[in-house]
Structure formats: structure tokens, C-alpha cells
Amino acid sequence: MSMQAESVLIEQCRSKNLSAYRILVEQYKKQAYGFAFSYLKNAEDALNVSQDAFIRAWKSIDTFEKGRSFRPWLFSIVKNLSLNLIEKKKSLHEISLNEAMEESGFDIADTSDDPQQLLEKKETGDMVWKAVMELKDEFREVIVLKHFQDLSYREIAETVGAPEGTVMSRLYHARLALKKSLETVV
């Protein structure tokens, strides 16, 4: 969605136009869920947090800064709610990696009819996702935002509340840790 189209929708939302907000929700609901899941590692919690984030964003839409992208703002709400829930629970419920891949939408697309290739892609995807989920929180969040959510460095910086240079540094170190982790598996 272009920034201009998003700005128009935001202005309509400020006028309490629910139809405009539904468009934003539809645009970002899977991404918000995936980002929450990267913190919570629990499908139900991720769904609850992502829904709560949209509710809070709606209630606070008047405080949204004009000219800013909605997605990083929403993701910062998702991040804060996720961290609050983690603090509250202090113990996460684990789900199977396959269930996590399916529910989070991070599954590798099936582009071949060859069952062997499909199996290899699935196994590779499982290894990569498992390695990502084992990264330190600060590394995992930037990897997910950059490579799974396709945010720019600026948007990631807004989301995590850190300077762009810090984001680039974390990405560099996250990629090194990911490479090291995957080398030990292969």
C-alpha cells in the first residue's frame, strides 16, 4: 500500500470511519500476527496480541503522527504488548515447529511438483525457522522484521525504538549468529 493511500485511510480513521480501518487491518493483520508470534511462540497468544494491537491502534489513531508509516507504529504496539505478556506469563507454552510454520505463515512456498524437492524445501524452512527462533530477542526481532516482514531499516528503527545504525549492527550480528547456527546443523 502506498504511503499516500495509507495517509488517506489514516485521515478517514481519524474521522472514526471503521470501513477505512478495516482496510488497514486486512492489509497488516497477517504481518502483525507473524511479528507477535516471533516473540510469543504461541499461536493463540499471538492472535490475541495482534488483535489487541489493532484495538489499541484504533483507540489511539488521533495520536498517530502524520507522514509516518502505519506498519512500524502498529508493530511497536505489537512488540510492547508481546513483551508485556511475556513478563506476565514468565513461561512460554511451546508448540511444534511445524504448527508454528503453518500458523505463522512463514512456510516456504510449494513451487514444484517433485515430492523430494518439496520435502527438502520444507526441511530447509524448518531448520531456518528453528534457528531464527533460537536467536536472542534483539536479533530475532530485526531478522523477522527485515526478512519476513520486509521493513526498511528506518521502519525497523521506528518499530524497535533504536537508531538505524543499531538496527544495521543487530542485523549484521543476527545474520552471523544465524549462519553459525545453520552451519552446525548442516
Share of the chain above pLDDT 90, in %: 29
Count of domains for the chain: 1
pLDDT at 125: 75
pLDDT in tens, 149-158: 888 888 899 8
The whole domain housing 104 covers 3-185
CATH number at residue 116: 1.10.1740.10
pLDDT at 102: 55
Burial class (CB within 10 angstroms; exposed 0-12, middle 13-18, buried 19+) of 74: buried
pLDDT at 92: 39
pLDDT at 185: 66
For the chain, list the strands marked E by DSSP. none
Residues with Cβ within 8 Å of residue 130, at least 6 apart in sequence: 97
pLDDT in tens, 81-133: 998 888 887 543 444 445 555 555 555 454 556 677 777 777 777 788 888 88
Q: Model's pTM, two decimal places?
A: 0.62
Q: Does the pLDDT value for residue 28 go beyond 90?
A: yes
How far apart are the C-alpha atoms of 106 and 101, rounded to whole Å?
5
